[in-house]
Amino acid sequence: MKYILSIFLLWCIGTTAWAQQVKEAEVPANIRTVVTQQSDKHPITLWVLDKNRKKYIASIIHVPVLRNIEVSLDGKWLRTTDALSPDQFPPAVMRVVRESYLDKGYDGSNYIYIQEPGNKRYAVDLSSDDEDLHVVLDPAGKVLSKEAR
């Protein structure tokens, strides 16, 4: 879990590099309402306004919950991303990751659950001596994309 927290914190810090951290009081009420619906009652740790990408990002950094919630400037929920440990991946998804990659010498990291309107998927970064991959799978374990890094 420490590794996941480190990666998540680096992502949050990187996000603030191209965006502006804001106080919760500066966030419009409609944005806060949408974030509250996605937060599962966890308090928001960090608010970021990304003007270039036209969205707010609310981060929850309370182990074991590591979550980013993205909302457009007009208050439309865009995405919720959760950092997970491998044992939190659904069995069908983890089975494919294990059989296709881990059992073949890859190491896994950055296990992520991504929710968007009408779309849920899982992602994992995998590395071997020969290649680094970012693999995205649907909830049934079907590989949706495999990108070399």
pLDDT digits (tens, 9 = 90+) for 120-140: 999 999 999 999 999 999 999
What does the alpha-carbon distance between residue 21 and residue 12 come to, in Å, rounded to a whole number? Answer: 10
For the chain, give the number of residues. 149
Final residue of a structural domain among 33, 50, 79: 79
What residues make up the domain containing 102? Answer: 85-148
What does the alpha-carbon distance between residue 71 and residue 142 come to, in Å, rounded to a whole number? Answer: 28
pLDDT digits (tens, 9 = 90+) for 53-79: 999 999 999 888 899 999 999 999 999
Same domain, 16 and 75: yes
Same domain, 51 and 15: yes
How is the beta sheet containing 77-84 ordered, strand by strand? Answer: 20-22, 46-50, 55-62, 65-72, 77-84, 107-116, 119-127, 132-137, 143-148
Same domain, 92 and 121: yes
Please say if the pLDDT value at position 95 is more than 60. Answer: yes
Same domain, 106 and 138: yes
Final residue of a structural domain among 37, 59, 79: 79
pLDDT band per the 50, 70, 90 thresholds, residue 18: low
pTM of the shown model: 0.84
Q: The CATH number of the domain where 98 resides is what?
A: 3.30.505
